[in-house]
Structure 1
Amino acid sequence: MKGRNGWTFAGLAILAWALFPLVWMLSLSFKDPSTFRGEEPGFFPTEWTWANYSTVLDDPMFTAALRNSIGISLIATALSVTVAMFAAYAIARMEFPGKKVLLSTALAIAMFPQAALVGPLFNMWRTLGIYDTWLGLIIPDLTFALPMSIWTMSAFFRQIPWEMEQAAQVDGATGWQAFRKVIVPLAAPGVFTTAILTFFFCWNEFLLAISLTSTDRARTVPAALSFFTGASQFQSPITAIMAASVVVTIPVVILVLVFQRRIMAGLTAGAVKG
């Protein structure tokens, strides 16, 4: 009993440690920007105000960045999941030369530091004319998201009984029909989980977003927050930045809470061979 209480206390302590920055961010977002510097230090605001959220939602830079984040993340996620689905099926079901090399290469790409690519991509994108465009961010996002998508989805494909696909082919289905009508529906939870994880990665990406953009035309929310100045030059931008952070964090938190079981299933799929 004491051991169980100890683990419960440890879990609550870790939860409090993880939630503290979020609560602090939420508290700052409700503080009055005009008196933020002058009021006595305190965790919670003395007067709660929605002025920061009005400032953020009325700012064209933030709304443009929000639109860019949604569009770029959805497109990169759709492309990544589609390509990874075929690649993961081939890795899980087929034997071909270089299979292990392919997996090792995908893992190496996922571990490669993004900072080492910023300079070359900056010069390449300017030469190709795709600097500060959606395409200029979708391509690197897709490159770094694909390895994670392939590894996650291949674990789901390995769990699907091979006999079900063979039975469909015995009944007259072609390889493509068996894949489309049997394998894909059975792997739908894995595809869905991979899509969520990939979307989170693209949504939170900062380094490439701030390095490969220069205007609001393609700048995403994580990069746009660093340029936020608030309602005027006489007010501290901290409270407005916190309000903007809350706005973009709430959808992610909701998705995690709603789909946490599927996310955990995707992370642990294939961990135990039975």
Structure 2
Amino acid sequence: MNQSKAFRIVCACFVVVFLFASIFPFLWILITSFKPEVEIHGNGAYNIIANNPTLENYITVIFDKHILTAVKNSFITAATTTIYVVIVASMSAFIIARFRFKGKSLLMGLILSISMFPQMIVIGPIFNMFYDLGWLNTYNISLAYCTITLPSAVWIMVTHFKQVPLSLEEAAKIDGCNYWGILWKIIFPIAAPGVFATAIITFIAAWNEYLLSCTLNIAESMQSVPVRISYLRDEYTIFWGQITAAAIVVIIPTLIMVLVFQKQIVAGISHGAVKE
């Protein structure tokens, strides 16, 4: 009994340490965002509560640095990327999971290997293609985002689609349902947790994408959130107060989304890990 109690205490301590390590950076960013620049670099740098708390950093990034424009750009590109990836990945995953054809294993390996290419290798050809098509500084950057997120989305959906019993598909065929109807009326609703998790993961990946955005959309009016934040500096100074305030502003949408849909995300990930 004593050993069991000691074990629970040790586990509780590890959980507390883990939670502190996870939450502390966010709390420190929040605290720093209310500090004037003098306190961030001066003697009050390590104070938990600012001596002279201010909203100046938030006012600057919202009205002077136009961070909300960057939020709008990131949301449009991330949402477009998510819709496209979910549609294409679901159809691709359905074919891979349900049809027998030669080279299926090779195809899955090829899809996985594509996602392993460093972005620095593919950024040059993508830039040349966008330049020739006149797509620089447009929302067409979503197509470039898809090249990064689509392979992993296909892999996740294949895992979930394989969990759907074949008996349901056979019953639908007997009732006269074609493959398109089977996908959207049978498999898609049953595998909804996995599809939802894939959509959230894709959205967050597109929301945080930096390299493609800073290469393809360099105009200030089309910059994404990560790129806009990287410009909160001058030749000699990094404005940490503005950076932390901007970080809080842009974290809020994704944080709310994750908190609201956390059950669906966990259900989607865990459902794909269980073999029935």
Q: TM-score, normalised by structure 1?
A: 0.90
Instruction: State the aligned residue count.
Output: 271
RMSD of aligned residue pairs (Cα, Å)? 2.2
Q: Retained in 2: the 8 A contact 1:152–1:266?
A: no
Q: Deviations over 1:183-238 (max 9, x none)?
A: 222222222111111101100111111122221232100011011249xx999621
Which deviates more, 176-185 or 19-28? 176-185
Q: Deviations over 1:74-122 (max 9, x none)?
A: 0000000000010111111111122112111111122211122223323
1:106 aligns with 2:98: no
Partner of 1:92: 97
Which amino acid is the alignment partner of residue 162 of structure 2? R
Supply the distance in 1 between the matched residues of 2:230 and 2:26 (Cα, whole angstroms).
18
Identity of aligned residues (%): 38
Q: Retained in 2: the 8 A contact 1:133–1:217?
A: no
- Choose which of 200, 219, 223 in structure 1 pairs with 2:223: 219
Partner of 1:183: 187
Quote the offset at 1:36 in angstroms. 4.2
SS at match of 1:134: coil
1:149 aligns with 2:150: no
SS at match of 1:132: coil
Q: Retained in 2: the 8 A contact 1:28–1:242?
A: yes
Structure 2, unmatched stretches of 5+, are none
Partner of 1:81: 86
SS at match of 1:48: coil
SS at match of 1:245: helix
Q: Retained in 2: the 8 A contact 1:56–1:243?
A: yes
Which deviates more, 74-83 or 39-48? 39-48
Decide whether aligned partners of structure 1 residues 24 and 178 sit closer, same or farther in structure 2, where only a CA change above 3 A counts.
same
- Choose which of 10, 16, 29 in structure 2 pairs with 1:12: 16
Supply the distance in 2 between the matched residues of 1:51 and 1:200 (Cα, whole angstroms).
28
Which amino acid is the alignment partner of residue 46 of structure 1? N
Q: Deviations over 1:133-184 (max 9, x none)?
A: 221x212210111111111111221111111121122122223223222222
Which amino acid is the alignment partner of residue 33 of structure 2? S
Partner of 2:253: 251
1:48 aligns with 2:53: yes
Structure 1, unmatched stretches of 5+, are none
